[in-house]
Structure 1
């Protein structure tokens, strides 16, 4: 259980670091640069390493360290990893995450000021009556902006989700032990869907929702 908790904590730290890097990326894009090295691309790479390298890759292999494989006699099998395939999974997940972040960073709401976001809402609500607008709750207003032109978020999530899937199953393919793995097609399909949905949701929160509520990034 301790190793599982550690893997969760690593994922948490990776996610937190990627959120911080995302904010620095946004600030550098609008011209607020803190050092000569703080280019937008620098923070984009930092986001990919934080989320892909730490939040996803490290979490995966630390979590796998908690697994034990008993044989028919109850003895634990020795588990090793092919170093080449393992490192390849690291490189690929960072590259896919980098591409996903880059595509998603072109989202129509990300990089917008609060005033520009309000103007977007007014534009979207133009077809509604003033009475309906006045009755709208904050959640409904957020959903109007939150669902506007999501193609960059969807594509970026698809790319990053693909990286998660590739990394995970390459990591599984890197396992070396006296036995074999039996795959369940249904579970594999579910894992792929979860990877895509989670990636899109993460980008929606990171690049869309936190653009609407920038003061909540510290949470």
Structure 2
């Protein structure tokens, strides 16, 4: 028997909340990656890792917030805890691979294409691994064409996100890029969900292994959300992340104290390493400072 699938159980609440989390993760991740590029003295691996974790947590949180609104009317839905956590690890790791490639090797065509494909396939793998973690009294079928379309959207979204990460500098432009990322990631998710159909085995209501959506997903979402909030605090208290390259340079120039011209003068060069540099006051006291005094001496 074909089950009645509904992806919007709570109306617009779950799609909007999922989109907001995708945008938040994208915005924080972009700013952290930009931070590693603006200052050569910063700890680059740390900033890139924080950016990858922010984007990965944002994508994973978006997916499972959206899944809270997914139901099959004829059967309950439960989730395998181990596979659900594994999907979070996959999201962070694959985004990290793409971020470190473009962070260290640049956004050349070959690097960007390779990193985008790897990251996009990883994001799609995270989604379908999360779907595989579902436990219900039935079998889930997928439309092959729609699945392929969702994977293509994931690759394009990942490539665009990585390009923005190494190209966009200003705060407002990063914010705009994160909004576009949110649309792309949410579009990938709901395209993939459009490929789903469920064949229910029966309406016996028997139990099966796994935790319900409310008992598993809501508590598990707390951790990534707290992480994103903490990452947001790091961004807010770093002026270089908030201002951007040009504004930070101007602010630094305004705060830099003026150096008196006398202190900027360089000591005269000497032809021999054994010559002793003589300052202006010392030169006036030397008996040979003028030809006339040298003759008198």
Asked if 1 retains the 8 angstrom alpha-carbon contact of 2:27 and 2:175, the reply is no
Instruction: Indicate which of 96, 99, 120 corresponds to 1:98.
Output: 96
2:7 is aligned with 1:9: no
| CA spacing shift, 1:198–1:66, aligned 2, 3 Å | same
Instruction: Indicate which of 181, 196, 201 corresponds to 2:140.
Output: 181
Residue deviations 1:19-39, cap 9 Å, x none? 1111222134x11x4xxxxx2
SS in 1 for 2:89: helix
User: Greater share of helix residues, 1 or 2?
Assistant: 1
2:186 is aligned with 1:216: no
Look up the match of 2:121: 162
User: Greater share of strand residues, 1 or 2?
Assistant: 2
Residue deviations 1:83-129, cap 9 Å, x none? 111111111111111011011124546xxxxxxxxxxxxxxxxxxxx
Asked if 2 retains the 8 angstrom alpha-carbon contact of 1:11 and 1:59, the reply is yes
| CA spacing shift, 1:204–1:69, aligned 2, 3 Å | same
Shift of 1:186: 0.5
Shift of 1:203: 1.4
Asked if 2 retains the 8 angstrom alpha-carbon contact of 1:107 and 1:153, the reply is no
Q: When the two structures are aligned, how many residues end up with a matched partner?
A: 165
Larger radius of gyration: 2
| CA spacing shift, 1:160–1:150, aligned 2, 3 Å | same
| CA spacing shift, 1:41–1:79, aligned 2, 3 Å | same
2:57 is aligned with 1:59: no
Look up the match of 2:45: 41
TM-score, normalization by structure 1: 0.70
Asked if 1 retains the 8 angstrom alpha-carbon contact of 2:33 and 2:103, the reply is no
TM-score, normalization by structure 2: 0.52
Shift of 1:215: 7.5
Q: Distance in 2 between matches of 1:2 and 1:216?
A: 27
Q: Distance in 2 between matches of 1:200 and 1:97?
A: 11
Look up the match of 1:50: 54
Q: Which runs of 5+ in 1 are unaligned?
A: 34-38, 72-76, 110-148
Q: Distance in 2 between matches of 1:40 and 1:106?
A: 9
Q: Distance in 1 between matches of 2:13 and 2:142?
A: 27
